[in-house]
């Protein structure tokens, strides 16, 4: 049971690491789409004031912090997390129950992510409808709703990508399993 428990802990740790890396790469890909879109919006709507520099600076600060969290501080965080997990496991009487609970929580998280995407999709459709109506009612000479629709579509794409899209690009379960096994081999 102890070997099985250790293998399970290594697997959970490796799976968490793979999720962190995927999150960073999603953020990195978004860097090539969202900041240029912000520049475009700024130059089309208020070319006299270049606010996009503030947005780009904030975006890159966020990207650097995300990189540091995923790659720069990974060893420190891994050691701390392993220590805390061992403390929890020592306090837990039935370790198999704890493992089942972890699987349940992981499955529940995935279901909530999927549900969150569909809620986002529904709210986005409603928001686009309202924005188009407001635009056509109050400013019929300038179709600003296209900017909002483009931004909403980009946000929906990245939300979809985070929930479903990795499979489509070869970073799905097979890639995850391969990376998890690599991390397990390094940690063993």
pLDDT digits (tens, 9 = 90+) for 171-188: 666 777 777 777 777 776
- Contact yes or no for 117/127 (Cβ under 8 A): no
Task: Average the pLDDT over 163-173 and give the result.
Answer: 70
Total count of domains within the chain: 1
Q: For residues 166 and 160, give the distance between their C-alpha atoms in angstroms, rounded to a whole number.
A: 9
pLDDT higher than 80, residue 126:
yes
pLDDT higher for 37 or 83?
Answer: 37
Question: Exposure of 124 by Cβ count < 10 A (0-12 exposed, 13-18 middle, 19+ buried)?
Answer: middle
Which tokens hold the place of 70?
């995923």
Name which of 91, 95, 78, 108 is nearest 187 in CA terms: 78
Whose tokens are 């540091």? That residue is 68
Please list, in sequence order, all residues whose beta carbon lies within 8 angstroms of the beta carbon of residue 109, skipping any fewer than 6 positions away. none
- For 90, the domain range is 2-187
């Amino acid at each position: 049971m102890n070997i099985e428990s250790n293998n399970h802990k290594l697997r959970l740790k490796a799976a968490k690491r793979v999720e962190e890396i995927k999150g960073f790469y999603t953020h990195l890909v978004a860097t090539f789409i969202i900041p240029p879109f912000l520049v475009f919006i700024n130059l089309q709507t208020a070319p006299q004031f270049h606010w996009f520099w503030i947005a780009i600076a904030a975006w890159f600060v966020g990207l650097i912090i995300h990189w540091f969290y995923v790659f720069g501080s990974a060893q420190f965080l891994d050691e701390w997390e392993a220590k805390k997990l061992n403390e929890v496991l020592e306090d837990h009487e039935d370790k198999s129950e704890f493992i089942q609970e972890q699987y349940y929580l992981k499955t529940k998280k995935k279901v909530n992510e999927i549900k969150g995407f569909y809620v986002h999709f529904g709210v986005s459709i409603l928001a686009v409808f309202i924005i188009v109506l407001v635009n056509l009612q109050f400013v019929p000479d300038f179709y600003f709703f296209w900017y909002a629709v483009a931004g909403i579509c980009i946000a929906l794409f990245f939300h979809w990508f985070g929930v479903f899209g990795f499979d489509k690009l070869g970073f799905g379960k097979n890639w995850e399993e391969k990376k998890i096994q690599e991390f397990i081999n390094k940690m063993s």
